[in-house]
Amino acid sequence: MAIKAPPSSGRAVGGDAAFVAEVQRRLGQAANICYQCGKCTAGCPMACEMDVMPHRVVRLVQLGRRDEALRCATIWLCASCETCSSRCPKDFDIARLMDVLREMSIEAGLAHRSASDIIRFHRSFLNSVRRHGRTFEPEMVLEYKLRSRHFLQDTLNAVRMAFLGKLRLLPRNVHGRKGVKRIFRASRPEAQPRTARGTCSSATAITPSATTQAAPSAAARTNTTSPSVPSPG
């Protein structure tokens, strides 16, 4: 069955119009520019693992189907490789959309059950960056294991890395740590102007967000396993 083109106004038809508006505000683009050619899905290296194909996630947003978009596992399997965004004939930033949906999913408490360890890892990652200005792997892994309780996972790899001198016992702090901490503070919702923050329909922020596209999320985007998540708490 052919998919009808989205309405030119960019408003949801029979869906959650406030959700569509909030996604577009955070994304900085209109969702209706996507005409469902499927090129993003065709080039996605993670599509075989996804429950909803990337172009279908965009369609869910266009239709204002908030819960389906925020509950799907696809947004957590996106590796942020940006193949989809670079190939899109309409220059629609789908990789950025996945970031936005992850952020809103956590704020609304709708994250997919399979994403729990992913979120724990990213919070541990961001905590390490906030404290040292860069990652200190032993501390980060220890915090992740305490959060996830996967105490024996990858222990043999840790032994091999220590033997090869890949694990430092003491962190190397960057010189501009205070600047990094200021970025984290500025990314918290309470630090944003009320008119610029906005709220998603039925979504309540439960933790400070580092995904207002301040430096922490930019740093996370350079690491394909570190999508935007709320800042450490």
Domain locations in the chain as residue ranges = 17-107, 114-222
Residues lower than pLDDT 70 in the chain: 1-14, 189-233
User: Nearest Cα to 148, choosing from 128, 127, 124, 131?
Assistant: 124
Q: Quote the pLDDT of residue 85.
A: 96
pTM: 0.68
Q: Quote the pLDDT of residue 111.
A: 93
User: Nearest Cα to 82, choosing from 115, 51, 40, 121?
Assistant: 40
Q: Quote the pLDDT of residue 192.
A: 59
Residues 56, 52: Cα–Cα separation, whole Å? 6
Residues 78, 149: Cα–Cα separation, whole Å? 24
Q: Quote the pLDDT of residue 20.
A: 97
